[in-house]
């Protein structure tokens, strides 16, 4: 890089011929006992940086690869899972399935199914197709098809349902109405449960 031409070979000792004006000079000591360090290539600052690989997030074509079998309905679901020790507050819309293992304070609308695990708590209002409750629900609940309350489940508030299943030990309390063919039942069918 500095001081040597490509064609020139280093010379050592006193036998070295003096350099002419067109040649570079060798200033190294003629001591052969000192090993010379290998030269390092110069850094190239012009190397372009690669962007992150986002191919895992790209949609895949339907006919690509051996795994082009039709996807199951579960794989296409829009599923929201609120894990243990998670607190979610807000509005939840257009999800196919909501699984609550933590705590949720929300308005749930335009959803198909809700599953509240034994450790889960939901406070607010929900209008859904079906619900399976092993934890606690507190608020307004409209279940157009089947409401299942497990032995560890507790449902409190204003509840309207298509079908009701309560396991031994499950608690349902508040204003309870049965829906008749998707329409609210008369107020005379309200009462309190276990």
In a domain, 154, yes or no: yes
Encode pLDDT of 165-175 as tens digits.
999 999 999 99
Please report which helix (H) or strand (E) contains residue 148, including its range: strand 136-149
Question: What's the predicted TM-score (pTM) here?
Answer: 0.55
For the chain, what is the domain count?
Answer: 1
SS3 57: helix
In a domain, 69, yes or no: no
pLDDT confidence band for 180 (50 / 70 / 90):
confident
In a domain, 162, yes or no: yes
Out of 9-18, 70-79, 135-144, which region has the weakest mean confidence (pLDDT)? 9-18
Encode pLDDT of 21-32 as tens digits.
556 666 666 555
In a domain, 61, yes or no: no
Contact yes or no for 174/191 (Cβ under 8 A): no
In a domain, 95, yes or no: yes
In a domain, 136, yes or no: yes
In a domain, 40, yes or no: no
In a domain, 23, yes or no: no
For residue 111, the enclosing domain spans: 74-188
Contact yes or no for 76/92 (Cβ under 8 A): no
Between CA 97 and CA 74 the distance in angstroms is 10
pLDDT confidence band for 114 (50 / 70 / 90):
very high
């Amino acid at each position: 890089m500095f001081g040597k031409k490509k064609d020139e070979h280093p010379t050592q000792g006193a036998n070295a011929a003096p350099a002419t004006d067109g040649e570079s000079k060798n200033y190294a000591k003629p001591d052969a006992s000192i090993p010379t360090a290998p030269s390092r290539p110069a850094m190239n600052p012009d190397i372009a940086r690669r962007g992150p690989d986002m191919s895992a997030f790209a949609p895949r074509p339907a006919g690509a690869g051996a795994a082009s079998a039709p996807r199951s309905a579960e794989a296409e679901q829009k599923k929201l899972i609120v894990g243990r020790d998670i607190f979610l507050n807000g509005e939840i819309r257009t999800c196919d399935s909501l699984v609550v293992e933590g705590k949720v304070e929300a308005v749930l609308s335009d959803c198909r199914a809700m599953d509240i695990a034994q450790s889960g708590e939901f406070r607010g209002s929900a209008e859904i197709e079906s619900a399976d409750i092993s934890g606690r629900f507190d608020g307004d609940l409209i279940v157009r098809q089947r409401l299942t309350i497990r032995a560890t489940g507790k449902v409190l508030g204003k509840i309207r349902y298509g079908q009701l299943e309560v396991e031994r030990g499950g608690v349902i309390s508040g204003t309870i109405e049965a829906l008749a063919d998707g329409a609210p039942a008369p107020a005379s069918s309200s009462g309190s449960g276990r």
